[in-house]
Structures are given as structure tokens and as C-alpha cells.
Amino acid sequence: MRLHGQFREGRAAHEGDRRRRRLQQLSGYHGEERVTPELRDEVRRLAAAGLDRRCVAGGLERVAGLTLEINRLKKERGAVIAAHVYQSPEVILGIGDFTGDSYKLADDCRRTGAEAIVFCGVHFMAETAKILNPSKKVYVPSSNAGCSLSEGITAEDLRRLKAEHPGAPVVTYINTSAEVKAESDCIVTSANAAKILRRMYEKHEKVVFVPDRFMGANLARELGKTPGKDIILWNGSCVVHERFDPGLIKIYRERWPGLVALAHAECPSELIKAVDFMGGTGDMMRYVESTNAPAYLLVTECGFGELARLRFPGKNFIGMCRLCPYMKSITLESVLALLKDPAAPEVTVPAGIAGRARVAIDRMFELAA
């Protein structure tokens, strides 16, 4: 026991020395005389969060310089930063005031007392934040933060679909524009879609679900419903999740015995049938936290896997991910540029559309409670 304790103490000391050397080797870090106390403290804060374990372009000192300035400016402007889990760890851990999936961020935004919200996520998420906070200023730090699902259906498309299925309630995935939300009866996220659909089927035989056809098919299978009959789907998909190859799951299992595979509900049904768990990112993170497996395969956007590795450094994660170009268009540099710009464009939603969309969003919070 004593020898084991000495080994652990020695290993801990070695790890501490390694991290100190790592900090000293960072780009531009050559000692006390060239680094302000504030910057040194910020480097240590980021290192304590685990960012020193990442290969950060330009070194952690460069990142610390950006996060230090961003955090100073957001306080001056009375802003909070909402960071989706698909953002880079530098954004989430360096400047995010709250982070999570679409549902958690929507809930956090409606509760914040800040004057402004800088949304590090795609545009439809920022629109949702604006709908929930009409008197606040909401910003997105990128003009390229779109979404293939949101752009795959219009309000006119949904009106036509509703006309073809009169009386069927419209349950709309949150990955949609404000105009589409305004034509909906209830909004859902991947975290609560199954629960809310069950509630809908208590009173209705048929439900319209838009826009993700893969998520809709996966939910239909989970609930024992027939697509085209009990659940009417739209032909939308996520540019990230639609491209995963189901055949790779078997290969990964052969390579890592005991591997547990988790996939986002936006993945095609053939892939979902091959994994152990389907859910949203919040569900997946909780699953990993509450279980112990030799390895975890996270089938979703790459940012989620990076965050999981930092949150659970003692667990083994196998990479099977794809980058979302829309999410990754947001960087520390783009956030800083926005906060420095007094004329930065705000996210706006016409009052009439926002009011109708708010009804559908509030219905989600009511049914998901």
C-alpha cells in the first residue's frame, strides 16, 4: 500500500511538472517579464479547464489573450455568451457563460437577466433566444452560421403540408426558422421530442413532424408509429448527421471490444439500429457520465467529442465525427470582432411572427416539464 501511495504521489508530481513545462513552452511564453499577471492567470484558468491538453493553434497564451479581452468586453456591454456543445472547447470553456444543447440554451436564455445575448450557435438558435427575449439585444458572431435543416423548409412549405393533413397537430423540431415555428403547434428538441409526441398521440391519431426525416423515422420506430400514416414527415436532413456510414459501427466494435456506441437522433435509421443509445447531446453526455465502458463511440459533430474528452479525462472516446461548417464558422476572433463593433447587426424577428412562434415554444416548455 505504501509503495502504491508513493507511486501515486510521484505520478501526480510528474504530471504537475509536465503541465508547468507545457505552460512555459507555449507560444510567446518566456517568463514573468513578458506576460502580464492577468494574462498569466488566464492561461492558468484555461489550463485548469483542460485546454492545455489540446493542440491549440498559436498556443494557449494566444487563446488566453482573446478570452481575456472577450470576457472584459462582454461585462462592459452587459452581455452573456451562450455556447452550443458543437462549438470549440476554446469558446465553450474560455468565454461561455452557459453551454448545452438547444433545449438547455433556450431555457437558459429565457432566464437570463443580461442586457444582451451573444449566441455562439447557428442562426435559428439565436432567433429562438430573441423570441424568448424580445427586449434584449441578440447577436450571432458569424454571418455564415446557417443550418441545412432550417434552410430545408419554408413557412409556405409547412402551410401546404398542413392543408394536406387538416386537424393533425404540427410538431416542429427546433432546427427551423422563426417563420416555420410560427406555423407550428409545438416545438421540440432532440431531448424532449419523444416525450412530447407521446403527449400528442394521447389526443390525436396523426401528427405532422418536420423537418428532419431521419429523426422523424427514428421517433416513429421508438413510439411504434408508421411514417406516412401515423406520423407525416418532411424530407429534411442534417448535413452532418446524414453522412455517417452505418457499416463502420461493426468495424469499430471489432477493434474495441466492449465499445458503447451513442448516436444523435438526426442520424439515419440504419445507423441508429446499429448503436446502443440514441438521443440528443445532453442525453449522450449524461449517459457517458453515468456509465463505465472500455470505450465510447460518439456519432455526432466533432465538437461534442472534444468537450466529452475534457469533461471525462479518465474515459476513452473513439472518434467517429464530422465537423459542422456552420458551427465552426464561429471563432474567438469573430466573437471579439462583434463585441468591438458598436454597429454589429442584431438578430431580429418581426413581432407578429415572434408572437406566434413564442406560443409554440412555450408549449414545448409546458409539455416537456
Residue in this structure with the C-alpha cell 427546433, named with its chain if needed: 174
Neighbouring-strand partners of residue 45: none
Strand 207-210 relative to strand 186-188, pairing: unpaired
227: exposed, middle or buried (Cβ count in 10 Å: 0-12, 13-18, 19+): middle
The length of the chain in residues reads 369
Q: Following DSSP, what letter does each residue of 219-279 receive, concatenated? A: HHHHHT--BTTTEEE--B--TTGGG--THHHHHHHHHSTT-EEEEETTS-HHHHTTSSEEE
pLDDT tier at 52 (50, 70, 90 boundaries)?
A: confident
| pLDDT tens track for 309-345 | 999 999 999 988 899 999 999 999 999 999 999 999 9
- In tens, the pLDDT along 149-181 reads 999 999 999 999 999 999 999 999 999 999 999
Residue closest to 298 by CA, chosen among 277, 312, 314: 277
Q: Please list the helix, strand and coil fractions of the chain in percent, rounded to the nearest 5, in that order.
A: 50, 15, 35
Contact at 8 Å (CB) between 369 and 160? no
Contact 256, 271 (CB under 8 A): no
What confidence tens digit (pLDDT) does each residue in 65-92 have?
999 999 999 999 999 999 999 999 999 9
Cis amide bond preceding 268, omega within 30: no
pTM as predicted:
0.87
Distance CA 305, CA 302 (A): 5
Buried b / exposed e over 147-185, threshold 16 CB at 10 Å, is: bbbbbbbebebbeebbeeeeebbbbbbbbbbbbbbbbbb
Q: What is the mean pLDDT of residues 32-53?
A: 86
Report pLDDT for 311. 94
pLDDT at position 55 over 90: no
CB 197 within 8 A of CB 219: yes
Domains of the chain: 17-66 (no CATH), 150-239+351-368 (3.40.50.10800), 241-323 (3.40.50.10800)
Q: Which backbone phi and psi does 320 adopt, to 5 degrees?
A: -145, 80
- The 10s digit of each residue's pLDDT in 130-144 is 999 999 999 999 999
User: Cell digits for 271?
Assistant: 445507423
Place of cell 494566444: 62
pLDDT interval class at 54 (50, 70, 90): confident
Q: What is the average pLDDT across 299-314?
A: 94
For residues 168 and 155, give the distance between their C-alpha atoms in angstroms, rounded to a whole number. Answer: 17
Which tens digit of pLDDT belongs to each residue from 9-28? 444 445 555 555 554 444 44
List, for residues 220-275, the tens digit of each pLDDT value. Answer: 999 999 999 999 999 999 999 999 999 999 999 999 999 999 999 999 999 999 99
What is residue 31's predicted lDDT score, i.e. its pLDDT?
A: 44
Q: In whole angstroms, what is the distance from residue 293 CA to residue 155 CA? A: 44
